[in-house]
Structure 1
Amino acid sequence: MSLSSSKAERLAKRLADHGRHLFVYHQIWTNQVVYSLERSMNNNQVLKQLTFAGKKTLPSALRKDMWRPLFTATFPSPSQGLAAFRKLRELRMLHEHNWEHPDPNARKLPVKKERGRLIMDQKANSIADLAWVLRGQEELGVKMAEKHEANQHRIREELLALSKEAEEGGVQLLEQTLADQQATIDSMKQMQQQGGPDAPSRKQIGEAILASKQMRLRLEKMRAASQAIEDAKNKAQTQYESDDARGRAPDAISLVIEPPRIFSHPPPELSPKSKKSKSSEQVPLYTTEGVIIRWTNPLDAEFAAEWPAAVQHEFAGLARHTAAPIDQEPAFSVEDMIQRNISHKYTAMRDARQGQVEEIGEGVEEIDAADYEQLTEKSADGLGPARQ
């Protein structure tokens, strides 16, 4: 039961973080670049990203020994990471299909091999593209934050105005007006059914129904505003009495008003807008605060002319064919990297052999990985535990 629950927890965490980490690999000979949302490269996904740039430019299968991690980017939210992933792939495709001549003064295009090499070399472009995407997300985040703040200010002003109107008897007046409007709509519908030259058109009835919806929405907002003000007053009074009992009563009482949801997300049956309109909460607020880029070679960051100031650059540590884990400290030595890459099966095999030596005595001779590979001509990484 515990094993299945732990697997479910790991799967849930993996799905929740899907898109938050972006892993980028490059080919050590051609500088081709692929983007991945998983830490390990997948053969089919990698081959789909590679563009045909001439004869023998597309491998038939992935060779992991020819690829190295370039960098790992961590974003504050999965939605921001997925947006950057999509934009980077679009920019990479644009570089590969709409490239400029390396020498503007040359009269002839490069030969096929040289042209293929230029198209495949996307390492510097990918790093510059990442910096450009982050700057764009930062600018978009600032604009959306300003828009969100202006919207919140408008909601607060509307809430206070409706609350004041409700105190002056606006609820009863609006209820009476709404009842009269509904009676008018019923009368117009009856006149339309009877027909005649004075019968209202469908457009007039629709406008009357729309006005009725707006009145109902205003009435619901007025009631919600009054309730929100009342709840804020009660909460502030309770807090004041609690502080007064402790001898820390403040000089003034501050009201913290939580705007009701109806102000930002009116119900569809009362909203005059189209159902297809997107709400403000569906638009993510992008930011470069919390963006971390872990470089295999920190000098590669210089391929970009400018980075946003809030972006953090770190050393990813030594790695071979797979990017370093996000939740572990970077490996700064070769011994540490080798120790992390040792197969668990091989470790279990060595422990089992050690147990046999202790039980039997000196009759069993233990060999290391190098001797095993020399004798059997097989890799020691794929060995399982020794059988008794």
Structure 2
Amino acid sequence: MPRSLARLRYKPPLQPISLASPTAASRVTPQHVAHMQKQIAAYVERQSNPQHLRLQTVVNEKARRQATSQHVISPVKPYTLRDVVDPEGTAKHGEIIYIFRNTKSNQIIYSLQELLDNHHLEQLPFIGKHSKPPALRPDEWVPHCVLTFPTPSQGQNAFRKLREFRRLHETAWDKTNPEFKRMDKKTRVKKIMDQRANTSADLAEVLRIQEAHGAKTAEEQAEQEKKVSTFLDKRWEQIDALANAGLAKAKPTDNVKWLQGQIRSMDHKLKMKHHQNEADQKSIKAAKESLETRLGKLQYALRKTEQFKNLQEDLTKRAAPANELGAETKLYELKLQARTLQEALDNPDPTRSEADLELDREILAGHRAEITTLEQAFEAKAQLKNGNHYIARSVLPKALKTPPVKPYTLEGVSVRWADIQDALYAAGKWPAAIEHEPLEINKARGETLMLSAEEYEVEKQNEVGRIMDTLNLREGEYLEEKDGLKSSFDSSALKSGIAMSIPRDAFKSATL
């Protein structure tokens, strides 16, 4: 009975090789060269891809996670507004508000994400036929402007107010624009949908409200901090005086052991027969409570003083790197080097060996550890300078212990416009501290060399050839069979089991 083909084992895949090793050339096969050439060509295309020319504003539906048993290759990270506004990716959720505009109707969508999704259409109310798009079209939604705030809470507050103001423009138009009543329905719907000018006015009003609220909150917090500072100075002065008295032991009432002995003595007196009348019991209990109160205050002062001293020593030790000359410059350079190394590791150069990449990972880990140490040192230095640490504030009462909320400020708030002429819709209403900047979406377009398809293929092949030369993977140098190098299909290392006894042309006439 003939053997079943299902019992035959498949040929194992090619073993990965290190092209940087000196003996790699003796183990390289044409299959390895073809595979590497494909990888290098993909790398060259990735490096030459003009991704900064194609700004993505809408989520790619094809990149979504598919149902079970369906696999989709993850696409390359798109070039979005976040890469323009926050290239380092350090902004927290809520610090940036992205505003998009419909090119046909001038409808406005506010988003805390750099890409629009279908759920963002829920912001738009239905006010007439064709007033609400059924789906997002990438060719219709373009960036209008981007707002940057110093804190996430301030950005989220502005985001909420902007959406409320726009909803009033769209649903309460009879109160804000009574002349709309005299228009026909189609014209009125178009006028209501056009929120381009209203957006500038709303932005100016929201920022003005935040400026006034921030000034009022800052005054209240300054007054509260003054109370906290006065209380802390007075309270720590009392604690220091009591702790010094406890250490000096000039009086019996400043001695912890003496107070503990007196309390034990009061316990014995309470049990004596001749002290069982009501007056003696009341007098002894009052004396005992007085001694316990004094002992508690003394122990509390000694404990807090010791904790404060230990924390000050710890902060001094941790702040030592921040006190060195050029510490701030060193921290900036380390962050810059770490970002460069991370970018190189995210898109590795095929001419570099795995050992070099591993060395870069070790260097990156070292840089990140130094960055963390320096950041903690600067934080400890600040706490040591102003005394605003948890031990110092632990003596505050509950009413003053709650940390104050950071007041809104327009310092650091910027508005970047795709068309800076839109800022003129609210001319004279913008707060003086607001910075208006152009949104440089097409900045990289002038720095990119545009090639025709033929020129691009020529340059691509030249670059692939250069990398292949660097790796010594030219096929004609040592990969021909006349030089004694056999094909990987003839290698005995790739045959095992039944494959050793099967001739090469055993299934030449087989059909599937």
TM range (shorter): 0.5 to 0.7
Residue 83 of structure 2 is aligned to residue 17 of structure 1: no
Q: How does 1:178-327 map to 2 (within 5 A)?
A: 224=304, 258-261=387-390, 264=393, 279-281=402-404, 283-304=405-426, 305-317=428-440, 324=441
Find the aligned partners of 1:292 and 1:167 in 2 and give their Cα distance: 48
Contact 2:307 2:391 in 1 (8 A): no
Q: Which residue of 1 aligns with 2:221?
A: 148
Secondary structure of the structure 2 residue equivalent to 1:18: coil
Q: Which residue of 2 aligns with 1:54?
A: 128
| Amino acid in the other structure paired with 1:294 | R
Corresponding residue pairs, total: 274
Contact 2:101 2:144 in 1 (8 A): yes
| Amino acid in the other structure paired with 1:138 | E
Contact 1:163 1:229 in 2 (8 A): no
Find the aligned partners of 1:350 and 1:21 in 2 and give their Cα distance: 40
Deviation at residue 314 of structure 1 after TM alignment: 0.9
| Amino acid in the other structure paired with 1:295 | W
Q: Which residue of 1 aligns with 2:174?
A: 100
Deviation at residue 301 of structure 1 after TM alignment: 0.7
Contact 1:134 1:308 in 2 (8 A): yes
Deviation at residue 350 of structure 1 after TM alignment: 6.9
Instruction: Name stretches of at least 5 consecutive residues in structure 1 with no aligned partner.
Output: 1-6, 180-211, 237-254, 318-323, 325-329, 361-388
Residue 106 of structure 2 is aligned to residue 31 of structure 1: yes
Find the aligned partners of 1:105 and 1:355 in 2 and give their Cα distance: 62
Secondary structure of the structure 1 residue equivalent to 2:231: helix
Find the aligned partners of 2:95 and 2:305 in 1 and give their Cα distance: 38
Deviation at residue 16 of structure 1 after TM alignment: 4.7
- Deviation sequence 1:165-192 (CA, Å, 0-9, x none): 335548878999xx9xxxxxxxxxxxxx
- Deviation sequence 1:223-281 (CA, Å, 0-9, x none): 64797599889x99xxxxxxxxxxxxxxxxxx9561453665679xxx666xxx99334
Change (3 A) 1:40 1:58: same
Secondary structure of the structure 2 residue equivalent to 1:100: helix
Find the aligned partners of 2:463 and 2:198 in 1 and give their Cα distance: 58
Secondary structure of the structure 1 residue equivalent to 2:143: strand
Residue 160 of structure 2 is aligned to residue 86 of structure 1: yes
Find the aligned partners of 1:14 and 1:285 in 2 and give their Cα distance: 24
Contact 2:308 2:392 in 1 (8 A): no
Q: Which residue of 2 aligns with 1:183?
A: none
Residue 236 of structure 2 is aligned to residue 163 of structure 1: yes
| Amino acid in the other structure paired with 2:223 | A
Q: Which residue of 1 aligns with 2:446?
A: 336
Deviation at residue 63 of structure 1 after TM alignment: 2.0
Change (3 A) 1:307 1:217: farther
Find the aligned partners of 1:258 and 1:359 in 2 and give their Cα distance: 61
Name the stretch that deviates more: 293-302 or 57-66: 57-66
Find the aligned partners of 2:234 and 2:89 in 1 and give their Cα distance: 47
Q: Which residue of 2 aligns with 1:376?
A: none
Find the aligned partners of 1:143 and 1:218 in 2 and give their Cα distance: 41
Secondary structure of the structure 2 residue equivalent to 1:23: strand
Find the aligned partners of 1:272 and 1:217 in 2 and give their Cα distance: 18
Q: 2:199 aligns with which of 126, 131, 145?
A: 126
Find the aligned partners of 1:167 and 1:278 in 2 and give their Cα distance: 20
| Amino acid in the other structure paired with 1:28 | T
Deviation at residue 40 of structure 1 after TM alignment: 3.1
Find the aligned partners of 1:151 and 1:14 in 2 and give their Cα distance: 35
Find the aligned partners of 1:132 and 1:295 in 2 and give their Cα distance: 17
| Amino acid in the other structure paired with 2:96 | H
Find the aligned partners of 2:158 and 2:237 in 1 and give their Cα distance: 46
Q: Which residue of 2 aligns with 1:245?
A: none
Instruction: Name stretches of at least 5 consecutive residues in structure 2 with no aligned partner.
Output: 1-76, 78-82, 247-252, 261-291, 317-383, 466-512
Q: Would you tell me which structure has more helix in proportion to its own residues?
A: 2
- Deviation sequence 1:19-54 (CA, Å, 0-9, x none): 222211112232210112233332x13322221110
| Amino acid in the other structure paired with 1:33 | I
| Amino acid in the other structure paired with 2:446 | D
Contact 1:159 1:259 in 2 (8 A): no
Change (3 A) 1:28 1:257: closer
Find the aligned partners of 1:100 and 1:50 in 2 and give their Cα distance: 18
Q: Which residue of 2 aligns with 1:192?
A: none
Secondary structure of the structure 1 residue equivalent to 2:446: helix
Contact 2:98 2:114 in 1 (8 A): yes
Change (3 A) 1:224 1:301: farther
| Amino acid in the other structure paired with 1:95 | H
| Amino acid in the other structure paired with 1:163 | W
Deviation at residue 307 of structure 1 after TM alignment: 1.2
Q: Which residue of 2 aligns with 1:243?
A: none
Q: Which has the higher contact order (CA 8 A, sep 6+)?
A: 2
User: Kindly, what percent of the aligned residue pairs are identical?
Assistant: 34
Secondary structure of the structure 1 residue equivalent to 2:134: coil
Find the aligned partners of 1:216 and 1:137 in 2 and give their Cα distance: 47
Q: 2:210 aligns with which of 122, 137, 141?
A: 137
Name the stretch that deviates more: 350-359 or 24-33: 350-359
Find the aligned partners of 1:165 and 1:359 in 2 and give their Cα distance: 77
Question: TM-score normalised to the size of structure 1?
Answer: 0.55
Find the aligned partners of 1:63 and 1:166 in 2 and give their Cα distance: 68
Q: 1:75 aligns with which of 130, 149, 160?
A: 149
Deviation at residue 347 of structure 1 after TM alignment: 10
Q: Which residue of 1 aligns with 2:366?
A: none
Deviation at residue 62 of structure 1 after TM alignment: 1.6
Q: Which residue of 1 aligns with 2:139?
A: 65
Find the aligned partners of 1:124 and 1:81 in 2 and give their Cα distance: 21
Q: Which residue of 1 aligns with 2:350?
A: none
